[in-house]
Every structure is written in C-alpha cells, then in structure tokens.
C-alpha cells in the first residue's frame, strides 16, 4: 500500500493526538515510512516551531501538522508551517477558506478531517486536496456514522482521494478500507500502544485491557462527541449531560481531565481517549513494528 499522494513510502497517516504526537513521535513515524503528524492542540506558535524542528532533525521524510481551525494562533501557525516548509496539513473544526490562497501558493497539501458526507462535500468544495473520513469507532472527537458506512458514501460523493480512519489496527482493517474505496488509512489508537509514545504506563495498559465496549461517547448534547474510556469521570459526565446541566457545567467536569490522563496517568478521573479498536490491541510495540503490521 504505497503511492505518492502524501510522498511517503506507505499510504498510512498517523492520527494527531494532543500532547501525545509531538515532534519526536511524528519524526519517528515519518522515518519509518508513514506520515507522522504533529498535533498543534495546546501549543503556541513558538512551541509548534520547536516541535517541527525536532521532527525535521529526525528525518528528511515528509511530516504533517494537524490544525484546529478555531485556534487563536491559526495565522501564526500558518506562518511557521510555511517558513519551515512543512508539506502537509490536516485540519478540522472551522473554516479553511481564508488560508487556501496562501497554502496553495506554497504548495502545501491540505487534508480535511470529516465525519459526515455533508461535511466531506463542503470541504472538497472549499479546496481540500484530500479527505480523512473518520468513523464513530475512532477515539477522540467523533461523529455518529460508522467507518463501514461513511467511507464508501464519501468516496462516491467527492472527486478527491479519501483516507479511512476509525477501527483500523491491522492489515485486515487496511484491506477493508481499500475495498471500500479509500486510498489509505489514518491510525491513532494503535500508536498509543507504542514504546515511543510518551505516555504513562497506565494509559498504555488501559488500551491493552480495553475491549470494543470499554469506551463511551460523551458530549453529544452540545454536538461535540468525544470517545473516551468509560470511567468514573465519564459516568459523572453522562449523568449530568442527560439532566439539566449547562455547557459550562459539563466543561467543569472535564476541566484538566486530559492532562490528568496523559501526564499523571489518572485512568479514573482523566479523559482517556481511545477508539473501539482498542479491543484488537494486545501488546506494546515499536512504531516500526506497528507500521509493518499495516503496510
């Protein structure tokens, strides 16, 4: 599974995960032939610059930066990406159109993340070069449509290449995605269970111990579903979400929860993002071995 759509040896994209997939991690992924992606979430422009430089010191292969378009740093992020000649961005959560002209001027490949066919059509019309269609099985921010349904629907609706994401952990998942019309895959949860991931051991073990029914989607009430490990925090959140809780009430429950999980290793009150595919992951492996399983 290789071609030149993203100028990598393998048509595999490593999904961006805030505070987890930074420069060193993305650099290692790209060094081994997939597309490493630096998550810009939680970074300021100077920090993003540093992470890109770390990745570029590891490999000359292409890397990508993931952008949340509503970020107050967007213009500065774009400036850094252009200056450091990052060839690819992935993005979601806002309007890309104000940046299309300058991105195209610098020949930066634009890959939009979508979770509905309607959003896919809009992003294609707005200038995306490719799409990552992510099914609800995925970890983190998700929609409501399964990968099996979403991929062929999106492939049929747009005239640009589509990558599949959500529920992919081995060659079987890759082959299924290709059969559905995708040109490649994006994988996130599988990379959490890597030796190189700078995560507490408790987080990695939570992935290994999970089954396909161990996660839950929170935040649907206000349209921002997030798939995480079902724990004490999520039980409290769901109880509040389906009562008369306001948006601010729910935000208070999750305040600091990502740091608690990815830094402190708190699997009880932390926000432990992972996809349903955790049920297929049974060992900690190297990035190189993970890519070998998928290629």
- In tens, the pLDDT along 126-173 reads 999 999 999 999 999 999 999 999 999 999 999 999 999 999 999 999
Return the pLDDT at 144. Answer: 93
pLDDT class of 3 with cuts at 50, 70, 90: low
**Residue 275 near residue 228, CB atoms below 8 Å:** no
Domains in the chain (CATH in brackets) are 12-197+282-294 (3.20.20.70), 201-278 (no CATH)
Strands 226-229 and 215-218: antiparallel
When pLDDT is averaged across residues 83-107 and rounded to a whole number, the result is 97
Record the pTM. 0.94
When pLDDT is averaged across residues 186-201 and rounded to a whole number, the result is 96
Helix (H, G, I), strand (E, B) or coil at 279: helix
Give percent of the chain with pLDDT exceeding 90: 91
Return the pLDDT at 1. Answer: 52
Distance in angstroms (rounded) separating the CA atoms of residues 227 and 242: 17
Q: Please give the backbone phi and psi of residue 132, each rounded to the nearest 5 degrees, phi first.
A: -110, 110
2 has a pLDDT exceeding 70: no
When pLDDT is averaged across residues 244-264 and rounded to a whole number, the result is 91
Return the pLDDT at 108. Answer: 98
Return the pLDDT at 99. Answer: 97
Return the pLDDT at 5. Answer: 80
- In tens, the pLDDT along 105-123 reads 999 999 999 999 999 999 9
> How distant, in Å, are the alpha carbons of 16, 28, 61, 63, 290 from that of 50?
17, 16, 17, 14, 26
- In tens, the pLDDT along 124-133 reads 999 999 999 9
4 has a pLDDT exceeding 70: no
> How distant, in Å, are the alpha carbons of 11, 173, 281 from that of 162?
11, 15, 25
When pLDDT is averaged across residues 232-253 and rounded to a whole number, the result is 91
């Amino acid at each position: 599974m290789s071609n030149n759509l993203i100028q990598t040896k393998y048509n595999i994209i490593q999904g961006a995960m805030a505070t987890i997939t930074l420069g060193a991690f993305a650099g290692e992924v790209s060094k081994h032939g997939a597309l490493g992606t630096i998550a810009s979430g939680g970074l300021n422009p100077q920090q993003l610059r540093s992470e890109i430089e770390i990745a570029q010191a590891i490999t000359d292969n292409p890397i990508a930066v993931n952008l949340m378009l509503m970020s107050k740093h967007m213009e500065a992020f774009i400036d850094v990406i252009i200056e450091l000649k990052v060839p690819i961005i992935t993005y979601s959560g806002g309007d890309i159109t104000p940046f299309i002209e300058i991105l195209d001027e610098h020949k930066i490949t634009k890959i939009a993340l979508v979770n509905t066919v309607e959003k896919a059509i809009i992003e294609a019309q707005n200038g995306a070069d490719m799409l990552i269609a992510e099914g609800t099985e995925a970890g983190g921010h998700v929609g409501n449509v399964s990968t099996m349904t979403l991929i062929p629907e999106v492939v049929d609706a747009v005239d640009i290449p589509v990558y599949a994401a959500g529920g992919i952990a081995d060659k079987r998942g890759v082959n299924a995605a290709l059969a559905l019309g995708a040109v490649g895959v994006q994988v996130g949860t599988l990379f959490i269970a890597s030796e190189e991931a700078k995560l507490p051991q408790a987080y990695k073990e939570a992935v290994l111990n999970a089954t396909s029914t161990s996660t839950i989607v929170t935040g649907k009430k206000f349209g921002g579903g997030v798939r995480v490990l079902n724990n004490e925090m999520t039980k409290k959140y769901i109880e509040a979400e389906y009562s008369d809780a306001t948006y601010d009430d729910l935000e208070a429950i999750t305040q600091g929860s990502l740091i608690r999980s990815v830094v402190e290793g708190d699997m009880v009150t932390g926000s432990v993002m992972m996809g349903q595919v955790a049920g297929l992951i049974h060992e900690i492996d190297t990035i190189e071995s993970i890519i070998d399983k998928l290629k």
